Every structure is written in structure tokens, then in C-alpha cells.
Amino acid sequence: MRHVLEAQQFSRGLIEQLCRRSDELEKLFTDKDRDKLNLLKGRMMFTVFYEPSTRTRISFNAAAEHLGMRVVSTENAKEFSSAAKGETLEDTIQTLCQYRPDVIVLRHFETGAAAKAAAVSSVPILNAGDGTGQHPTQALLDIYTIKKELGKVDDLEVVIGGDLTHGRTARSLAYLLSKFKNNSLTFLSPKELKIGSDIKDYLSKHGVKFKETSDMETALKNADVVYWTRIQKERFDSSKLKQTFVIGKREMALMKDKAIVMHPLPRVDEISKEVDLDPRAAYFRQAGNGMFMRMALIEWVLQDNG
Ligand code: NCD
């Protein structure tokens, strides 16, 4: 069964295949014959979310509906499902499988939750974020965005900045960038919010160049991709932490003309609104790419399942 649990499960070949398919699916929206999109008619997807979400859940739901699927969705499973009564995730997933979904998209507050669910599920599980663990479908849409914006995913200087301790998107993206050639990663964060040693060990083992810094100016000057993230205030006591890394007009002026600024969103105050008008601000285009990549992913997990 094809589950999507962690970014490192994807090979370069498969990532490229999914990017090509995302392109094809996007083109179908401009075709006169929109019926061609009805590729998974009659199939059903459950989206089960124990943590807040705007983009991930809606883009997954929209992706499935555009493919002709039916969707059953719960947006606040932590409070409104039987989890509130003490049911285990494994029991919930086994029960949901009785209702004949073809695929389950799961967001959960616990690291490792998607793998736990996959161990008992009779249908593919798509990890839509597991605590401070991973967010593989986000990382795939991030790579797809880099490819679309810059035409390549090799030979890039990528700055990944913000809350790298708790941010799962940064972690998954670092894994995926290591699948490509000659990228150099700079992790920019306050010293309290550094990237985990599991990621650094993986990069070292795979011969990927990386450094850690809190020197924002130098990092921005050299970057081809600036991947910015918010402080994950809901995951730790951040009351003593000052927001030091903010991208505004001044910071944009330091960056190369062809660089892009990405962000998984939601943005809080780490990118000023004035940056939105700069053509190098790619984050809303990035969010749009998410739906096409999720269409490709749903199709891919279902292909193996007859
Ligand atoms: C991210 C997440 O949930 O990890 N959001 C998203 O899916 N685009 C990032 C975040 O919450 O900061």
C-alpha cells in the first residue's frame, strides 16, 4: 500500500514524476473539456484533522472534488471526535476504515501519528502534518514551486529560516532538498530554535552541504531560495522570545533579483505585508501549487490500490 508518511520516502525520480503530473493536472483546468478531470469519480477521501488548518485541508478537499471524488471531512477532530472521550488514534482509524474510504488524510498533534495510523489502516494514509515531525505533502509542493519558479532544484543556495525546532515544513523540505544535486542549505534561526540533529545527521550522511547561522544579512544576500517560517507559538512557551527575523523591504533589497521568497503560510509578522507586492514573493503562488500536487498525490496512492 502506498502511504505518504515522511519526505525521505520519495526518490528524485518519483518527485519529478509527481511534478510533471501536477503540471498536466493544472493544464486540464484550462481545457475546454473539464470532464477529463473526473479521473477518480466514485472514490472517497476522508480528511481527519486534529490541528488547525486552512490550506492543507481545503486544498486536499478541493483536489479530491476536482478529481470527481467525494469527501468526508472533520476539521476539529481533537474536540469534536471521540478523541475527546479518550479514544486512541488506532481505534479511530480502524473504525473509519469500516466506512470504506479509499484514502485518509490525517493531521495530528503527535509526532509519529501518521505512521501509527498507517500501521492499522486498510487504506493509504497521507500525512498532512504530525506534530513537530513532518509535513511531506507540503515539502513536495515546495519542491514543485522551486521547480516552477526557478526551473531547477539543483545547484541552489537555500536559506531555511524561522522556528526550525518546531516547524515540520522546514524539516520535511530539508529531507527533500537532499534528494537533488549540489544544493547548499543555510539554517537561519534564533539559537533557541535550531533545526534538529536528526536532520543534520541525515544531511551529513548524504553529503549535503549545510550551515547554521543567525547572520540574516549574509544568508539573504547569497540565497536563491528564502524559505521563511513562523514561530510555532502553540508548541512551546515563546513569551520570552523576540521576533528578530523579519523580512521587509530592506531585507528584500539585499536579495538577488532572481531569488524567491517562500513560506508555507500562515504568515504572522515574520514577513511584512509590503513584501507581497514584490514579484519575488512566491508564497501565494506556492499555496496554489499545493492543490495540483495534492491531486497528483491522491492519484498516485490510489493507482496502486486498484
Ligand atoms: C504549516 C503547518 O501546518 O505545519 N502550515 C501549512 O500546512 N501550510 C506551517 C505552520 O503552521 O506554520
Tell me whether residue 135 is one of the annotated catalytic residues.
yes
CB 176 within 8 A of CB 7: yes
Q: What is the pLDDT of residue 305?
A: 52
Q: What is the pLDDT of residue 140?
A: 98
Q: What is the pLDDT of residue 158?
A: 98
Question: Distance of CA 228 to CAs 89, 173, 265, Å?
Answer: 32, 12, 9
Q: What is the pLDDT of residue 239?
A: 86
Q: What is the pLDDT of residue 306?
A: 47
- The C-alpha atoms of residue 232 and residue 250 are separated, in whole angstroms, by 25
Residue 50's φ and ψ, nearest 5 degrees, are: -95, 0
Q: What is the pLDDT of residue 199?
A: 98
Q: What is the pLDDT of residue 105?
A: 98
CA neighbours closer than 13 Å in the CB half-sphere of residue 81: 21
Residue 101's φ and ψ, nearest 5 degrees, are: -75, 160
Q: What is the pLDDT of residue 32?
A: 79
Tell me whether residue 2 is one of the annotated catalytic residues.
no
pLDDT tens sequence for the chain (306 residues) = 999 999 999 999 999 999 999 999 999 998 777 888 999 999 999 999 999 999 999 999 999 999 999 999 998 888 888 888 999 999 999 999 999 999 999 999 999 999 999 999 999 999 999 999 999 999 999 999 999 999 999 999 999 999 999 999 999 999 999 999 999 999 999 999 999 999 999 999 999 999 999 999 999 999 999 999 999 999 999 988 887 899 999 999 999 999 999 999 999 999 999 999 999 999 999 999 999 999 999 999 999 754
Cell of 137: 505533502
CB 72 within 8 A of CB 61: no
Q: Which of 105, 106, 138 to mutate to test the pocket of ligand 1 (most atoms within 8 A of CB)?
A: 138
Among residues 43, 135, 230, 263, the one annotated as catalytic is 135
Instruction: Report the length, in residues, of the chain.
Output: 306
Q: What is the pLDDT of residue 35?
A: 82
Taking the centre of ligand 1 as the mean of its atom positions, its distance from the CA of residue 211, in whole angstroms, is 24
Look-up of cell digits 501536477: 22
287 ligand 1 Cβ < 6 A = no
CA neighbours closer than 13 Å in the CB half-sphere of residue 185: 30
Tell me whether residue 107 is one of the annotated catalytic residues.
yes
Straight-line distance from the first to the last Cα atom of the chain, in angstroms, rounded to the nearest whole number? 10
